[in-house]
Structure 1
Amino acid sequence: MLRFPPQISGFFGSVALLLVAATGARGDIVSDWNALALTAMTGTDSPVVAHDLAILQVSMYNADQSIEGTYATYGYGAYPAPGAGPAGADYQAAMIAAANTVMQNLYSGSSSSFTTLYNTQLSGIADSQAKTDGIAWGVTIANNLLSARATDGSADAASTPYTPVGTIGYWQQTSAAGALLPGWGNVGTFAIAGTGAYMTTLPGGSVTSYLQSSQYAADYNQVKDLGSAFSLTRTSDQTNQAYFWAAGDGTVKMTGMWNQIAQTVATNAGLSTADTARLLATLNVAMADASTTAMATTYDQQFWRPETAIANGDIDGNASTNVDVSWAPLITSPSLPEYVSLNATISEAAATVLASYLGDSVSFSLGSDINGDGSIDLTRNFTSFSQAATEAAMSGVYGGTQFQTSVADGQIIGYNVANDVLANNFAVVPEPAGTVLILCGALFLLGVRRRR
């Protein structure tokens, strides 16, 4: 049964997952690789960032947990969960080797940076058979996952043929850029059993039905008012939110921003290496599958952007939408259909994962590179993950690129996908003593039943 996010239903139904206290180093190994990966991925589109970071973080997680065994190793589809690693192998060496193997494969153009981090981290581990075994095991873990994902469709997503419908209500290109990743909805998922169960449709089930509805009129007039480049009703804070979360070209994009949040809160909470790896693996798997679902929905529905809609308000069949041919959005529209909001979907998935592990009421700050020049232009402070997710989602309305319905439905997708990932992956391995007690209890009940 589908569940609804707190912004929609008013009830945060996610089951809290307790972090197991683990001994060992802090999560610096994991965060360092994540941060360097984001540097290499700057300018890469959000779905690709989540996809590639999921491969990176799952490799590190599996390299660790196949040796430490605190949490269940990850497996899905053509990639079976790995069994126990070599006895006595160094788990940190395994994680470092796995990370380097993944990044050298996916981003060979930054090879020297990865090699430098690899050598630096390994130099802190004394040479031994445990280190040697750990390195070899990490390479094996990474190569197995890379092999399983090599045919997942991500390599062909950008070149998938796509021609806009071009009629009333359907997306029309708003820039010279081609359609963004039109085949990404066909990319293999990491954890959910396909995208179909999570995809949504426009209200009324069709473009025409939505266009003629009062809901569309409300969405239309809201974004026309708040999202205009020269809006007189949008507050200065709403303008800041629009710019802050725009995640345009030359930035780490929306998935990268949520990874930066995760790195910050993991460090502030003092999470161990194991818990940091688990958090980031869960986060990126959830964002990857949420992105794929959103992209599948986007190219299935093919709805037009506000700037096209408002320029054609006189021919959309709705008497409550007044045309304005000079209207322009505050933020440049992304080059893909409008419904559903990719940023809202990603953000809700991320916030759901982070709140499940750490509780929602966590304070943090985040800086944003607004113009893509590599420097922080604006910093915002938050008191909860849900607050940040709501801001990120609504920034599309304030920026004039999204309708409210698109935002709300994107949040539903992100929330449901994240909860599926949380419920079925990265679980705590039961303590042996607990398993024995459960077995003894079952045998006792069986004996009682037989005596009856």
Structure 2
Amino acid sequence: MKRFLMVCLLLSVWTGPVRAARPDLNARLQPTVFALTMVMIHDVVNPPAASRFYTYCLLGAHEIVAQHQPNGISPARLVRSFKPPTLDKSKPYDYQLAALYCMLETGRLILPSGYMLADEQTKFLAELKGHYPEAVVNGSVSVAQAVAKQVLAYAAVDNYSKLSARLRYRPTKTDGYWYPTPPGYMEAIEPHWRTIRPMLLDSCGQFKPKPPVAFSRDTTSAFHKLMQEVYQTTKSLTDEQRFIASYWDCNPFAINTSGHMSIGFKKISPGGHWMNIASLVSTKAQIPFDQAVMVQSVVAMTLMDSFISCWDEKYRSNRIRPETAINRYLNPRWQPLLQTPPFPEYTSGHSVISSAVAEVLSYLIGDQFSFTDTTETIFELPERNFTSFRQAAEEASISRLYGGIHYRDAIENGQEQGRAIGTFVVEKLRKAGVKPPVE
């Protein structure tokens, strides 16, 4: 008995205190990306800019995990003129901790109110106490900070900094052209976004869509039929159609007016909605951490390039919104269900980005992958079930007709444009050797 007690005592001395189970880093990925989303909602970041921020915040994390996989494929194999950051491996670190911290650090440095992420960083490090040696945590932070700085240097030359120096966009009152809409009559958002350097595409005009139906005041014209369809559809919406329009609204610029008072309602951007879907389905599919980071990064890059392609066409065709056209030529009192976003109509941004991301997720996660989307629950909308990514993209696209803010050709040609972008990205992934984590 004494010998047994002595052995137990010696074991307790040799092993020391037992560390508690380490945090599930896979479970930490979605909240980390959503922390970026919350800052963007706070800042009322416009949709194209949000996609750019997501891309750079995920790029460094993608590179870190790629360099620690046996057959890791660096984003440099996919991204134009991107050189892989050099990692300092002289000190101990955990690459997955570094990847998560790198997302927050890049966001802290690049977002307008990035300072808000400092609390998230402190919270994350507090969660690691007692689970990882202090030297490993410190080393992980150092690696993350170094990579974030290299990503910011790459981002600094994508032409974003030159946007404010370009000529101010001036709308025209000529028939058929976009003009600011009520209630805010805001200036056009990002009229020079086509000048931003794409990540995966060769150029902003690589997937130029079909031209829009020509504007005409002739009541027998194709344009008049499109305008009438929007007008008549919004007059006879079902409860389900109204809900679909609201569910996919994702308008960071929404304003509610009462007399002389205007109140802004902050909402998630369209890209932010799809980023959260990517997080949710990665969790459901039980994708390992490294591959889940890659999925998020590729989705972000697809969103960024889709917005560049879409905005290239928006300010080329400069097409009039249904609200302006219907008020001028059909009914001056008509109002759309949704608030009209402050930029030209053609093509539909929701249609382009949703269709592109649906193709990418169908390749990476699964062609018929069913999922429950809980993204909008924080905005007091119920969760919604989808049988596939393409079904969700179809619904997001047609929601713009129900909302009264897009004509059908902008929706359908936008879907075609987005599918072409998504197919191109998938082919690029295949050629680089990126295999679906779910097969």
Using the size of structure 2 for normalisation, the TM-score is 0.81
Pairing 1:94–2:93 present: no
Q: Given the alignment, which residue of 138, 152, 164 partners 1:146?
A: 152
The structure 2 residue matched to 1:120, chosen from 101, 104, 126, is 126
Which residue in the other structure is 2:241 paired with? 238
Q: How does 1:249-288 map to 2 (within 5 A)?
A: 249=252, 250-288=266-304
Contact 1:93 1:122 in 2 (8 A): no
Structure 1 match to 2:12? none
3-state SS in 2 of match to 1:381: strand
Aligned CA RMSD, in angstroms, stands at 2.7
In 2, the alpha carbon distance for the partners of 1:181 and 1:328 equals: 25
Deviation of residue 36 (structure 1)? 0.9
Please give the alpha-carbon distance, in whole angstroms, between the structure 2 residues aligned to 1:69 and 1:295. Answer: 39
Per-residue Cα deviation, 1:19-68 (whole angstroms, up to 9, x for no partner): xxxxx966224223101111111132221221111111111111111122
Structure number with higher relative contact order (C-alpha < 8 Å, ≥ 6 residues apart)? 1
1:105-138 CA-to-partner distances (Å, cap 9, x unmatched) read: 0233313323224413543652276555443333
Q: Unpaired segments of 5 or more residues in structure 1?
A: 1-23, 314-322, 431-452
**For 1:139-288, what aligned pairs fall within 5 Å after superposition?**
139-157=145-163, 160=166, 161-175=168-182, 176-203=185-212, 207-208=214-215, 214-227=221-234, 231=235, 233-249=236-252, 250-288=266-304
Q: Percent identity?
A: 22
- Letter paired with 2:350: N
State the match for 1:37 in structure 2: 36
SS of equivalent residue, structure 2 residue 68:
helix
The answer on whether the counterparts of 2:212 and 2:410 sit within 8 Å (CA) in structure 1 is no
Kindly state the Cα deviation for residue 256 of structure 1 after the two structures are TM-superposed. 1.0
Q: Which moved more, 1:393-402 or 1:259-268?
A: 259-268
Aligned partner of 1:299 among 315, 319, 327: 315
- Counting matched residue pairs gives 389
How many Å separate the matches in 2 of 1:363 and 1:121?
33
Q: In 2, distance between residues paired with 1:257 and 1:111? A: 20
Which residue of 2 is the match for residue 63 of structure 1?
Answer: 64
Deviations 1:358-408 (A, max 9, x none): 1132222224659xxx53233322111111111111111000000111011
Deviation at 1:73, TM superposition (A): 0.7
SS of 2:75 mapped into structure 1: coil
Report the equivalent of 2:384. 380
Structure 1 residues 292 and 301: CA distance shift in structure 2, 3 A = same
Which amino acid is the alignment partner of residue 41 of structure 1? M
Please give the secondary structure, in 2, of the residue aligned with 1:312.
Answer: helix
Partner of 2:10: none
Aligned residue for 1:257, secondary structure, equals helix
Indicate conservation of the 8 Å contact 1:104/1:114, yes or no. no
Contact 2:30–2:276 at 8 Å: present in 1 too?
A: no
Following superposition, the deviation at residue 421 of structure 1 comes to 2.4
Alignment map for 1:317-328 (pairs within 5 Å):
323-328=330-335
- TM-score, normalised relative to structure 1: 0.79
Distance 1:130 1:67, change over 3 A: farther
* 129-138 or 265-274, which deviates more: 129-138
Relative to 1, partners in 2 of residues 1:25 and 1:419: Cα closer, same or farther, differing over 3 Å?
Answer: farther
Given residue 424 of structure 2, which amino acid in structure 1 is its aligned partner?
Answer: D
- The alignment status of 1:360 with 2:359, answered yes or no, reads no
Consecutive unaligned residues of structure 2, counting only runs of 5 or more, are 1-22, 253-265
CA distance in structure 2 between the partners assigned to 1:350 and 1:99 by the alignment: 21
Assess, with a 3 A threshold, how the Cα gap between structure 1 residues 363 and 429 changes in structure 2: closer, same or farther.
Answer: closer
SS of corresponding position for 2:385: strand
Kept in 1: contact 2:376–2:383 (CA 8 A): no
Instruction: Report the AA paired with residue 311 of structure 2.
Output: M
Greater mean alpha carbon deviation, residues 328-337 or residues 97-106: 97-106
1:332 maps to 2:339 = yes
Say if 1:225 and 1:417 are closer, same or farther in 2 by CA, change over 3 A.
same
